[in-house]
C-alpha cells in the first residue's frame, strides 16, 4: 500500500509591492489546506534584510521558498534574485518569479540568474488564486526541499 504524501509546513517569503497582489496571495494561502507561513516584504532592500536576518528581521525564519516580483522599489527583483543566488548561505533557497511581465527578456534573464521557476501572474482573480495554490502544492508536496 502506498503511503500518503505528508506535506510539511514551509516558510514562504513573498516579495511584492502591490497591496492587491499581496491580499490575493494571502487569500490563496489562507484558503488552502496546508497552512504554510507567509511572510511579506514590500521591496528588494527589505527582502534582503529579511533573508540575511538584519535589523527588524533579526528573528526572521529562513524561508523555504521565495515568491519574487520583478518590479520592486529600491532594489528590483532581478537584483534581489542575483543577490540571493550569489550568496552561498541563500543560494539553495528556491526562488519563483511571480510577475506581470511576459517579456521574453525577463524570462531569459531570470533563468540566467538561476530562478527556479518563472510564472506570469494571471489578471483574473480566480486564476491568480489557482496559480498560487499550484505553486504552493508543488513546493509542499512534490519537491523535496532542504531541511532547515
pTM of the model: 0.90
For range 11-20, the mean pLDDT: 95
Beta bridge partners of 68: 15, 97
Residue ranges per structural domain of the chain: 11-25+33-139
Is 122 in contact with 128 (CB distance < 8 Å)? yes
pLDDT at 79: 97
Helix axes 125-137, 19-30, angle to 10 degrees: 60
**11-25+33-139 maps to which CATH number?**
3.40.50.2300
Closest residue by Cα to residue 66 from 93, 35, 37: 93
Q: pLDDT tier at 10 (50, 70, 90 boundaries)?
A: confident
The pLDDT of residue 30 is above 90: no
Amino acid at each position: 500500500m502506498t503511503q500518503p504524501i505528508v506535506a510539511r509546513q514551509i516558510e514562504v517569503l513573498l516579495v511584492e509591492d502591490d497591496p492587491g497582489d499581496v491580499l490575493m496571495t494571502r487569500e490563496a494561502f489562507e484558503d488552502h489546506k496546508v497552512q504554510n507561513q507567509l511572510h511579506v516584504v514590500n521591496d528588494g532592500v527589505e527582502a534582503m534584510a529579511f533573508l540575511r536576518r538584519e535589523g527588524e528581521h533579526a528573528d526572521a525564519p529562513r524561508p523555504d521558498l521565495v515568491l519574487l516580483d520583478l518590479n520592486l522599489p529600491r532594489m528590483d527583483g532581478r537584483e534581489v534574485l542575483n543577490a540571493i543566488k550569489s550568496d552561498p548561505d541563500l543560494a539553495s533557497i528556491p526562488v519563483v518569479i511571480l510577475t506581470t511581465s511576459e517579456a521574453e527578456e525577463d524570462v531569459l534573464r531570470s533563468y540566467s540568474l538561476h530562478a527556479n521557476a518563472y510564472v506570469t501572474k494571471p489578471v483574473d482573480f480566480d486564476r491568480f488564486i489557482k496559480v498560487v495554490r499550484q505553486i504552493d502544492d508543488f513546493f509542499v508536496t512534490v519537491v523535496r526541499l532542504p531541511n532547515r
